[in-house]
Amino acid sequence: MRRRGNLLVVMEQGAIRRLLAEALSLGGYEVKVAGQGPEDLSPPNRERPNLVLYDVSMPATDGREALRRIRAWDAEARIVAFSDPATAEMARQARDLGAREYVGDPFDLSTLLRVIADNARSAPR
């Protein structure tokens, strides 16, 4: 199967992170996963992802600061942010910091997969 792109999924909940990574892998993406913490916001030491899927509501990190750090290692990174709870203010802040899309959690998997496909496809990597 031809790969559709490289994704980095950064979220705290391990079981959901693994489930999402598996669904994306089955959908043809190469997926790298990371949990919370400063090491997860370091520049990738391999190929840069086409898209970063980032949970801006992780308790161990300030999601807004995380978006700034991602921008520091890749100013052109395509980011889809999500959070729980989903609020209009969080969506506005994520977009102000450069997230291309914001998806509220709990999210519908088919909606999230569509958003990822739309953004990964347009990523020039």
What digits encode the pLDDT tens for the residues 42-97?
Answer: 665 556 788 988 887 776 666 667 777 777 878 888 889 887 777 888 888 888 87
- Whether residue 19 is contained in a domain is answered as yes
Residue 21 pLDDT class (50, 70, 90 cuts): very high
Q: Are 9 and 32 in contact (CB under 8 A)?
A: yes
SS (H, E, C) 30-92: EEEEECCCHHHHCCCCCCCCCEEEEECCCCCCCHHHHHHHHHHHCCCCCEEEEECCCCHHHHH
pLDDT tens profile 29-46? 999 888 765 555 666 555
pLDDT for 29 equals 92
- Whether residue 25 is contained in a domain is answered as yes
- Whether residue 99 is contained in a domain is answered as no
Domain range for 17: 7-50
- Whether residue 69 is contained in a domain is answered as no
pLDDT for 2 equals 62
Rounded to two decimals, what is the model's pTM? Answer: 0.79
Report the alpha-carbon distance of residue 111 to residue 125 in Å, rounded.
23
Q: Are 53 and 116 in contact (CB under 8 A)?
A: yes
- Whether residue 36 is contained in a domain is answered as yes
- Whether residue 124 is contained in a domain is answered as no
Task: State the pairing for strand pair 29-34/51-55.
Answer: unpaired
Provide the domain count of the chain: 1
- Whether residue 73 is contained in a domain is answered as no
Higher-pLDDT residue of 59 and 102 is: 102
Per-residue pLDDT, averaged over 8-19, amounts to 83
pLDDT for 24 equals 92
- Whether residue 63 is contained in a domain is answered as no
